Amino acid sequence: MENVEGFRVLGGEKIEGQVRLQGAKNAVLPILAAALLPEGETVIRDCPDIRDVHAMAGILRQLGCRCQAGRNEMRVSSAGLTGWEMPDGLSKQIRSSIFLLGPILGKLRRATVTYPGGCEIGLRPIDLHLKGLRALGVSVREDGGVIRCDGGNMHPGDVYFDYPSVGATENVMMAAALLPGVTTVHNAAREPEIEDLQGFLNAMGGRVSGAGTQVIRIEGVEKLRSAAYTPIPDRIVGGTLLCAAAVTGGEISLDNARPADLLPVAEKLKEMGCGVETEKTRVRLWAPARLRAFSCLQTQPHPGFPTDMQAQMLAAACTAEGTGVIVENVFENRLSHVADLCRMGADIRVSGRTAVVTGVKKLHGARVSARDLRGGAALVIAALGAEGETTVENAALIDRGYARLESTLACLGAKIERIPL
């Protein structure tokens, strides 16, 4: 991705104040894909203004849909949907283009995609997506990086995943929503975003149940109708801001939050010495002058600790008292932020998917570079707590999932600005 903008951060200011969370990226992306399914116009409220959402809207437009971004909302009309071939350039930009396979097949009974792109956090194969679709009668032909799917003989079925992939679960839910009969997904992913997709499909007249458990039942309906829907708030943006407050000895209140979704992160931050208080839709955190190390953090599928918060917690652990261990179990290459954290003075040793971090008193400013979305957010967090000035290159990668992160943090007291590079 181009390196045209970065963030300049002057560390040492406390993150303090109140912030309202917007719709979750990882809920909105599959919901936008599912907006292909109904006949009329869909309205997604609280839609975050982030690059991945714009990229997804771009793909939908190229397929013939009308997508209109308004103030905090996105309107999608699939009336003009004719294309079943995913545009190559945009699909390579975002991994979630693969989510379109299910709904396009569900609606048009054929689809062509190129291997999707996304953050460089591992191999990220799509075998489970294809396995799920094959179980619904889709015939898949892979031909020089292009995947051609023929859904002429699609039927409902039993899908078993030997790993609970988020995207593969969502793809099958969308492919089966308009398939007469009952489809069952076994060992389904249980992330809150899966429940939200069920909520959206049902708001359109779908009959889906069980999301949030390991077995999801989809009873296909003949038609889905248009709906307006507000997705769940972004637990990862919420967790990132909690970490920012934690490393700066600050205090933050997240509004429009779902405390249950933030539980794994809140529990770890408590282990590090923070106070956390929750109300129905609010999470408040106050941090000690210095954090202490957690003993071990292992990423797992939900309800385990989310991989999307691993990098930010590692950044927080860099200046905590004591030694902590992080094991990244979900992706094979998601520790690329370590080298830059070390350049800022961190003491981290990596072996395979394990990082051992021994807290130092302070990090110092440096010129560092975001290599993926969450790793980039971690560098910003580290910079907020560091002495002196840090430049984080590749703001575009962070913009994929955070809407103007610099404005949010500046409102909370940070000295941060976006700069051309």
Interacting residues toward ligand EPU by CB under 6 A: 25-26, 29, 95-96, 119, 122-129, 163, 165-168, 189, 307-308, 330-331, 373-374, 401
Of 189 and 315, the one with the shorter C-beta distance to ligand EPU is 189
Task: Work out the angle between the directed axes of helices 235-247 and 310-317 (0-180°, nearest 10).
Answer: 0
| CA triple 343-345-347, angle to 5 deg | 105
Residue 143 CB, nearest approach to ligand EPU (Å): 18
Q: Which is nearer to ligand EPU, 287 or 398 (CB)?
A: 398
Q: How far is the CB of 229 from ligand EPU (least distance, A)?
A: 17
Decide whether 246 or 377 has the Cβ nearer to ligand EPU: 377
Active site residue 119: yes
Shortest distance in whole angstroms from residue 331 CB to ligand EPU: 5
Type of residue at 156: P
DSSP label at residue 329: -
CA neighbor of 47 nearest in space, from 68, 77, 78:
68
Q: Which of 243, 296, 289, 293 is nearest to 272 (CA)?
A: 293
Q: In the bound complex, which residue of the shown chain has the CB atom lying closest to ligand EPU?
A: 167
Q: How far is the CB of 5 from ligand EPU (least distance, A)?
A: 19
Q: How far is the CB of 131 from ligand EPU (least distance, A)?
A: 7
Q: Which of 119, 149, 243, 318 is catalytic?
A: 119
Contacts of 110 (CB under 8 A, 6+ apart): 84, 104, 148, 149, 150, 151, 152
- Taking CA 300 as the corner, what is the angle to CA 237 and CA 174, rounded to the nearest 5 degrees? 75
Nearer to ligand EPU, 53 or 291 (CB): 53
Instruction: Name the nearest CA neighbour of 268 among 234, 243, 237, 251.
Output: 243
Are the CB atoms for 397 and 1 separated by under 8 Å?
yes
Where on the phi/psi map is residue 86: left (φ > 0), alpha (ψ -120 to 50), or beta? beta
Q: Kindly list the catalytic residues.
A: 119
